[in-house]
Amino acid sequence: MTEPIAVLGVGMHPWGKWGRNFVEYGVAAARDALADAGLSWSDIQFVSGADTIRNGYPGFIAGATFAQALGWSGTRVASCYAACAAGAQAINTARAHILAGMCDVALVVGADTTPKGFFAPVGGDRPDDPDWLRFRLLGATNPTYFALYARRRMELFGATEEDFAQVKVKNSRHGASNPNARYRKEVSVGEVLASPLVADPLRLLEICATSDGGAAVVLSSMDFARRHAATAGEPVKVVAVSTVTPRYPNSVIEMPNFATDSGAVTASVGPTFRDSIAAAAYEESGLGPEDLDVAEVYDLSSALELDWYENIGLCKQGEAERLLRDGDTALGGRVPVNPSGGLSCFGEAIPAQAIAQVCELVWQLRDQASGRQVEGAQVGLTINQGLFGHGSSVVVTR
């Protein structure tokens, strides 16, 4: 078990399609997180930026970009990219600095401005880049992969299009009163199933949009938190961050690859990659799925949320549809999943997303999630996955 660190403050810029510079969203989120922590920018000893690859050079060095926009202060800096998992890595970089005694208090920021429509690879002719090749050779978009995973659930476990639609219905209800969510309209199963097919069997309302947004957290050592004591009572703590990669041979197709590893020489043993992400977080925290009160999972598609239920151990493989139908993962149920509304209501602002998951859990554990509160939440887990094999999971406790 790793020593905990404290979350002193959280902040977001609302998700949307605002079309402004991503730096604006990051700075707004950072200022909110600092105000929430009762600290000023000059108190921050380390800034950790989650990079975006769609906004030119400033996006590749996001830590310094945000530091300059907040006003050069001489603070130490790091920037990292790990696709959808970038936010968790930025959090873990800050955590490592804090636990190593290299700083007491750190700011983590991620923000993005996204183009319309399908994500496409970054420009240029790059036939040695799997992310370029999968578009060129297969026409395989991100939703193509989500659709293949969905078909697999239908074949193996008898999931139906209505099950998938019910995930969207649940999340739309959760996010309806979330002021940071982009889509705040409740939808019905009929509306979901009447929306256009994007990647059979998935429809437009079941696939996460590409969004603009920003999220930030202020992290500190437990000693600093006790001295500072600006937050009411005991702060929410980060007790585990999982950043695992797959083990060879990975027998599940990983975006953006178009083949798995071969199991001809060495058979695949042990948990799948997605299972191993949460397993590492549980191991580090000394907690298990039975301890969870709430979870934020990466619902890139409605169907994928059901996979995550199993990956984080809320139920056995093949039982996720039943969990959903029984209302266990809805607000008021046994373990509400995506009380924020999830990607379904936010869309994806890639480097901000894993940070936003943590923001939501902190609000939940502080009893500040107005209109979507999970009563008495004490333990929460986020899970996410960045393409090219980046695991991401954060466990927080009260």
For residues 31 and 39, give the distance between their C-alpha atoms in angstroms, rounded to a whole number: 9
Residue 151: CB minimum distance to other proteins, A: 5
Please tell me whether residue 120 adopts helix, strand or coil conformation: coil
The reply to whether 147 sits near other proteins by the rule CB under 8 A is: yes
For residues 259 and 249, give the distance between their C-alpha atoms in angstroms, rounded to a whole number: 11
**Quick one: which of 52, 65, 114, 144 contacts other proteins (CB under 8 A)?**
144
Query: What's the token pair of residue 174?
Result: 């959760």
| 391, 385 contact by CB (below 8 A) | yes
Segment interacting with other proteins, rule: CB under 8 A, options 85-93, 142-150, 314-322, 375-383: 142-150
**Quick one: which of 99, 102, 120, 229 contacts other proteins (CB under 8 A)?**
120
Residue 115: CB minimum distance to other proteins, A: 9
The site that binds other proteins (CB under 8 A) totals a number of residues, namely 36
Residue closer to other proteins, measured from CB, 162 or 186? 162
The mark string for 239-258 relative to other proteins (x by CB under 8 A, - otherwise) is ----------x-x-x----x
Residue closer to other proteins, measured from CB, 136 or 227? 136
Residue 194 β-bridge partners? none
The residue type found at 107 is L
Q: Is the peptide bond before 201 cis (omega within 30 degrees of 0)?
A: yes
| 47, 107 contact by CB (below 8 A) | yes
The Cβ of residue 271 has, within 10 Å, a number of other Cβ atoms equal to: 14
Residue closer to other proteins, measured from CB, 155 or 290? 155
Query: What's the token pair of residue 350?
Result: 């890639």
The reply to whether 118 sits near other proteins by the rule CB under 8 A is: yes
The reply to whether 260 sits near other proteins by the rule CB under 8 A is: yes
The radius of gyration of the chain's CA atoms, rounded to the nearest angstrom, is 20
The mark string for 162-201 relative to other proteins (x by CB under 8 A, - otherwise) is -----------------------------------xxxxx
The reply to whether 269 sits near other proteins by the rule CB under 8 A is: no
Which residues have CB under 8 Å from 306's CB, separation 6+?
A: 153, 159, 163, 164, 167, 320, 321, 324
Query: What's the token pair of residue 31?
Result: 């200022």
Q: Is the peptide bond before 249 cis (omega within 30 degrees of 0)?
A: yes
**Quick one: which of 100, 232, 264, 269 contacts other proteins (CB under 8 A)?**
264
The mark string for 17-56 relative to other proteins (x by CB under 8 A, - otherwise) is ----------------------------------------
**Quick one: which of 132, 183, 224, 298 contacts other proteins (CB under 8 A)?**
132
The reply to whether 347 sits near other proteins by the rule CB under 8 A is: no
For residues 217 and 48, give the distance between their C-alpha atoms in angstroms, rounded to a whole number: 10
For residues 299 and 296, give the distance between their C-alpha atoms in angstroms, rounded to a whole number: 9
The Cβ of residue 203 has, within 10 Å, a number of other Cβ atoms equal to: 22
The reply to whether 122 sits near other proteins by the rule CB under 8 A is: no
**Quick one: which of 1, 20, 136, 370 contacts other proteins (CB under 8 A)?**
136
| 50, 109 contact by CB (below 8 A) | yes
**Quick one: which of 141, 210, 242, 338 contacts other proteins (CB under 8 A)?**
141
Q: What is the footprint of other proteins within residues 50-109 (CB under 8 A)? A: none
Chain contacts with other proteins (rule: CB under 8 A):
117-118, 120-121, 125, 132, 134-141, 144, 147-148, 150-152, 155, 197-201, 249, 251, 253, 258-264
